[in-house]
Structure 1
Amino acid sequence: MSLYMIRARLQCLGIPTRFFKGNHSAYSSKKDCASLQSFIPFMKLLENRREQANRSILVQVQSADSYKELYSYCSTLGIVKDMFHYREGTDPSHFILIEFEEQSHTNNVLRESTYLIDGQTIPTSSHFLWFRAANRKSPKLKQNKSACLLITNGTAMIKDDKLYEALSKCETISEEMEKLHELTKLNEMGSRLRFLTARQVEGLMSGLFPKARAYPFGSSVNGFGKMGCDLDLILRLTDEKEKEHSRLVYHCKASSSSERSANQKNMEVIGDLIYLFLPGCTQVRRILQARVPIIKYHHQLTDIECDLSMTNMSGVYMSDLLYMFGEMDYRVRPLIFTIRRWAKEVGLTNSSPGRWITNFTLTLLVLAYLQNPPNSHPVLPSLNSLVRSAGPEDAFVTEDGTDCTFARDLRKLTFAKSNVGSLEQLLVGFFEYYCHFDFNSMAVCLNEAVHLTKPDHSPMYVVNPLEKGLNVSKNVSHEEVERFKCEVKNAAWVLESQNDGRLTGLFESGRRKPLSRINFTESTKSKRLMNVTTLFKEAEDEEQTEEYKNDTMASQVKSIRKETKERIKMLEAAMGQKSRR
């Protein structure tokens, strides 16, 4: 049981928790290193969460105060284990998630639930319900004093002003990074709702496909998700292996088209089923011509954006790998959260697809740096060392032959941790590392933790750790790579030059830049470069009042600015020649 859950239960019982050490996060206390004794392998974690969703229902109620009456009613049908509250919308609707002790108790609740027989609703069964007012025929319920809500308003995201106020109370940048991670990461409520949303898709398919599984992957489960992140799902109709001893075999319908064409047809039908029959699912969009056909939809009841595909399991195994790296050292996740936040503030990442650096690419850049920090011991091992430590139970190969084998149990690894640098030191080291990285000729690779020569002329090449022939940053343009190099240099001198040593200063330096006025279309490349130049003109105006720790630092800042301006002029000239052609 997590520290958060223990604290919540003590509070429900009226027991003071001021002497109970631990923070308010759902999973980990401060500097949680995911101790070997409590480590849960990724696939086991998914299965535990799935079983938890099978024992749960989501009930829309009148208000948060309805939990007492709801608890009393549900207690007549099963043993209630935990209750969580959240609200959604500007004119908020209130919801309570209930987990029962046994799945049989949940099944009993669903059997006793009813439909409104009015001819206007489709009688679909799911774990999503609403609690109507009692009528004269309803038996009187006894109030139970043990009823309590472990979480109230559990999906609320902290606002920027409150976040920066909390960060300002920290004494060091390292503490700020931990606080940023603690206050913005996906919490217990968010995780439960995502697995319950996945459970709804499984229920939709269970009639024809009783072994169907909807696997969450990506930020929702790899430990790097923040509040409000999307839910990525891979739907598998079955993962059951053939029973060679069985003489009875199901008759099945053979596909009459190619695998891709059949996949597109299946996804089109599933999209129709989601749109027509699943309560809460709206804005269903079928993107079937993409390299990986997907169905996008919004779940109103859980307020989650969902992407559903029927591809192979490589996305799940990639999430497993990232989860492993995050569990190896408590510094990994706060560092990645901080760098992602910085990239968002300076405009390097974008929520819309395009030629920008994605959060996934940025995460791999951080992990590659942690495998080989200059002048220091590694924080993380290479992927190939995990492959060499793998046992027979770790062997996974996808249908298309992608080998996803690597050690999945931290307790079996022999990697010696000797890097004791602070989070602040690792943050500064990241910016300095990529200040000097040669993106023109070198590729980033996590497999052997070494720099490789780029196999093609992509502006940035980051090797997909599992599908090694793919470049996960293939979408990134040359201009965005140059901007990344400029921004890491700027961040390095901001952290080194400021006397007070605040993480907020790094974020504010990005917000002062007029990035919102930049046009990202192809026809205005040269204009965008001119806008970037104005950023450094502004910096020159501020240079007279900027204070530095010493003359050496001032000289380094001046050199960086000069080098960056020369690089921008070269880009402007190149873009001008290209436009004249």
Structure 2
Amino acid sequence: MAGEGEEGGGLLEGSALLGDVESLPRGGFRCRLCHVTVANQPSLDDHLRGKKHQRLENLRTVRQTQERRSVFVSGFRKGTPASELSSYFQAFGEVANVVMDKDKGVYAIVELQSEAVLEKVLAEPQHSLGGQRLRVKPREKKDFKYNPPRKQGAAKREQLSPEKLAQNLCQADDVDAQMSLMVRLFEFSESERRLRDLLVTLFQEVFLEFFPGSAILPFGSSVNGFDVSGCDLDLFLDLEKTKSFQASAKAPNIPQDGASPELDTHSEDSILSDIDLATTTVPEVLELIATVLKKCVPGVHRVQTVLSARRPVVKFCHKESGLRGDVSINNKLALCNTRFLQLCIEADERVRPLVYVVRHWAKQQALAGNPFGGGPLLNNYALTLLVLFFLQMRNPPVLPTVNHLKELSNADEQTTVDGWDCTFPKDSSRLDPSGNKENLCSLLAEFFREFEDYDFAGCVISLREGRPLPRPSLLASEVSNKLKLGPFNLQDPFELSHNVSANVNEKTALRFQRCCRDAAKYCRSLQYQRKSTKGKIWGIVRLFQPGNPEAVATDGFVLNLPLKLSAGPPPPCELLNRAGDLHQAWFQKICAGVAFTLRDVLGCSCFETPQGCGEEAVSSGFQQPEEQIEVKMKLLSAGTKRPLDSEEGEGALSPSAKKSRTDASLPVGESTTWDCSAWQHVWLGRRRVRRQLRGTDLDPTTTENAGSLELEAKVSRLLSQQEGEATPTEPLLRFTVCAQATEAASGEPGPRVRLRFTPALEQAAAFQEFFHFLQGFLPRMVEQYLVSKT
């Protein structure tokens, strides 16, 4: 036994010198090399003697040996083959391998046979190839990282359609199970985590070559624990060590710790030879970063510097995966926010499911997210903080306040970033377990009840103190001059002068309260609390339907289009003398645009019906004769379409002619109804296909002349082809659309066309995502249609 202990101690000591073993609370250990956690010393000794650890140690040794005898080469002509570089360096000794930057072709890693050959290469004062002066320097040394293999069957995750989401959630046993399932359905797949880790590693390797000592640190949704498949990759480029290295290089007679000859920024090998990071402005550094991304990072394109953002960034897109992201250099507070959110997740397992559900609910209610640019909506960070604040206010609290976290911190954890106190424990084991035992079902219902009548404008929500601060007391504080107050005031937990919901206007704040009120009312019903025995939707599924969860199945989904008289061709001269006929003509044009968008752009079957927009029409809209369904199926399978430009097509899609009115008022009551079916998921993945088309076979001049109708129609066709070649026997969604002319509502300019979408009762949950897409898509397409008719 003594021999085993001594042997184990020796293994531990050797690995500890390499920084592999980390001691955990309560006597456990973690091997950083293998990503393995063990409970005690004997288990650790067994692991260190095991095949996996020994294999990775050998692999690390091989990689480090390769790095020590490799050089980074740039300056050669683009397209230079690896064989030409190999032939050049063989003059100094044997070359083991040459790895080229295949995507950009601007740099290479040359691995030499030995360190003696490396010394000969570096001793040469000047290298040139093909008349080009080469820049040669030792390869940057990097820490070895083990990436666990992807699990079997972890294929690329399919997009989760609303009907599949509803089906999966309805199969759960209770609301708590539904909410936990939401996390598993929306979080990163193993392959997506792997992709992001590889991209971060790639960025780190490239930026180290140009900014010695720099570090790429991911933050935000990718790492804070609230990841959703497809979210952006937010990166922070830390240049502090680079600035120190550059400062040390300016004083060559005074050696400093950490400086080395290869970090001499006055050398021609460095991109920093012509700039001084200490005096260079943020826009200039970001432009330099954008240049590195464009020319030196494989697979990155669409690089754009955005200086107008609150925190200026460089945006980019990864070509193969379509993943978007941005790089910032002055956002250290975001790193603290990220770790704070991670701490909250570690403190209580109920945090993640509650945040995922509230975020998705807000998105479906059009309260959060900005799919078409900026707007007065809540962002995901604001919604997350709102949930954390709610959990702080429970009795007893689920989460501690930021001030209480500061009291639990050690002296070495005192942190100040940009003048703000960001002190909190780094280890969640020091937090006492919450005495609150409420389940997820109860917490979600109480969340809506808490904020259904909340005075967001009259106070400031403070996570630091865990209570709402009255505005008068806040106005007397030192941060009042910078904190932008408005209808919705939610203070950042660390940057106290930042209102994370400052963009929210009064209309959105009131709508948030109204949606909370509707949700709270629904959560008191049995449909929320109990699983349906008849196969109907229940629990949180109804919360994800736009509008009142109780009324949406019968009232339908409403979309209002303004009756714009300047958006299309002039009406006939004989109609100009009568405003009623003028409005009627525009109503017909808008209806034609709606039908054209549904049928010709989105590929839905769309047939005008003689019924009106009353309740009888809604209830009977899906009672179609068998013969009518067969005719529609034949038309769809044959692919026949009547061109809208022809008189026959125009008349078929537009409302039937109506008697002209003698008065000058809007002909309220004019209506048209269509019976529609959607056959493919043409509302999912449009952005990706649109980007592909714009960069391939579409003629730019044709696209500009046709507006976006031709492009969007082609996107729908390609999505349909990708989903399946055969024509489906049953539509995905069946719904009626009723267009009705209405007077302007209070505070709205001019008359409008009210579109009411009524899905089949059993498809109300599945229809909500399609309607959410139509809210932004349909008005733009109708506008393009009217312009194309000029």
TM-score range, shorter chain: 0.5 to 0.7
**Is the CA contact (8 Å cut-off) linking 1:209 and 1:238 kept in structure 2?**
no
Residue deviations 1:237-295 (CA, integer Å, cap 9, x gap): 24589799x95146767999998962111111211221122111011111123332211
**Is the CA contact (8 Å cut-off) linking 2:98 and 2:108 kept in structure 1?**
no
Residue deviations 1:311-347 (CA, integer Å, cap 9, x gap): 1411011000011011111110000000111111111
Q: Does 1:338 align with 2:357?
A: yes
Residue number in structure 2 paired with 1:248: 255
Q: Does 1:404 align with 2:422?
A: yes
**Is the CA contact (8 Å cut-off) linking 2:104 and 2:298 kept in structure 1?**
no
Q: Aligned match of 1:436 in 453, 457, 475? A: 453
Q: Does 1:363 align with 2:368?
A: no
Q: Distance in 2 between matches of 1:421 and 1:502?
A: 17
Give the Å deviation of 1:109: 8.8
Q: Aligned match of 2:489 in 461, 470, 482? A: 461
Residue number in structure 1 paired with 2:313: 294
1:208 and 1:350, CA in 2 relative to 1: closer, same or farther beyond 3 A?
closer
Residue number in structure 1 paired with 2:47: none
Q: Distance in 2 between matches of 1:106 and 1:168?
A: 50
Q: Distance in 1 between matches of 2:415 and 2:97?
A: 41
Residue number in structure 1 paired with 2:80: none
Give the Å deviation of 1:491: 1.0
Q: Aligned match of 2:325 in 306, 312, 316? A: 306
Gapped runs of 5+ residues in structure 1? 1-34, 53-78, 82-98, 127-146, 520-540, 546-571, 577-581
Give the Å deviation of 1:492: 1.0
**Is the CA contact (8 Å cut-off) linking 2:311 and 2:331 kept in structure 1?**
no
Whose relative contact order is higher, 1 or 2, with alpha carbons under 8 Å and at least 6 apart?
1
Name the aligned partner's letter for residue 163 of structure 2.
Answer: D
Q: Aligned match of 1:184 in 159, 183, 186? A: 186
Name the aligned partner's letter for residue 357 of structure 1.
Answer: L
Residue number in structure 1 paired with 2:105: 122
Q: Distance in 2 between matches of 1:106 and 1:515?
A: 61
Q: What is the identity percentage for the equivalent residue pairs of Structure 1 and Structure 2?
A: 26
Residue number in structure 2 paired with 1:9: none
Structure 1 stretch displaced more, 150-159 or 358-367: 150-159
**Is the CA contact (8 Å cut-off) linking 1:100 and 1:106 kept in structure 2?**
no
Helix, strand or coil for the counterpart of 2:212?
Answer: coil
Q: Distance in 2 between matches of 1:225 and 1:306?
A: 14
Give the Å deviation of 1:377: 1.4
Q: Does 1:502 align with 2:504?
A: no
Q: Distance in 2 between matches of 1:157 and 1:80?
A: 36
Instruction: Let me know the Cα RMSD of the aligned residues.
Output: 4.2
1:292 and 1:103, CA in 2 relative to 1: closer, same or farther beyond 3 A?
farther
Helix, strand or coil for the counterpart of 1:206?
Answer: helix
Residue deviations 1:183-204 (CA, integer Å, cap 9, x gap): 2112333233222212222212
Q: Distance in 1 between matches of 2:561 and 2:514?
A: 16
Residue number in structure 2 paired with 1:135: none
Give the Å deviation of 1:104: 4.5
Give the Å deviation of 1:121: 5.5
Give the Å deviation of 1:212: 1.1
1:347 and 1:517, CA in 2 relative to 1: closer, same or farther beyond 3 A?
farther
Give the Å deviation of 1:164: 2.0
Residue number in structure 2 paired with 1:386: 405
Structure 1 stretch displaced more, 333-342 or 499-508: 499-508
1:107 and 1:355, CA in 2 relative to 1: closer, same or farther beyond 3 A?
farther
Residue number in structure 2 paired with 1:283: 302
Residue number in structure 1 paired with 2:232: 230
Residue number in structure 2 paired with 1:193: 195
1:574 and 1:517, CA in 2 relative to 1: closer, same or farther beyond 3 A?
closer
**Is the CA contact (8 Å cut-off) linking 1:216 and 1:232 kept in structure 2?**
yes
Structure 1 stretch displaced more, 386-395 or 346-355: 346-355
Residue deviations 1:206-238 (CA, integer Å, cap 9, x gap): 124332111100010000111111110000124
1:267 and 1:344, CA in 2 relative to 1: closer, same or farther beyond 3 A?
same
Q: Does 1:477 align with 2:494?
A: no
Residue number in structure 2 paired with 1:64: none
Aligned length, in residue pairs: 423
1:457 and 1:306, CA in 2 relative to 1: closer, same or farther beyond 3 A?
closer
Residue number in structure 1 paired with 2:439: 422
Helix, strand or coil for the counterpart of 1:444?
Answer: strand
Residue number in structure 2 paired with 1:217: 219
Give the Å deviation of 1:365: 0.6
Q: Aligned match of 2:337 in 318, 331, 348? A: 318
Residue deviations 1:493-546 (CA, integer Å, cap 9, x gap): 122234345211211354956476578xxxxxxxxxxxxxxxxxxxxx99xx9x
Q: Aligned match of 1:354 in 368, 375, 382? A: 375
**Is the CA contact (8 Å cut-off) linking 2:305 and 2:315 kept in structure 1?**
yes
Gapped runs of 5+ residues in structure 2? 1-23, 36-50, 71-95, 110-148, 266-271, 476-483, 531-537, 563-614, 620-744, 750-790
Residue number in structure 1 paired with 2:168: 166
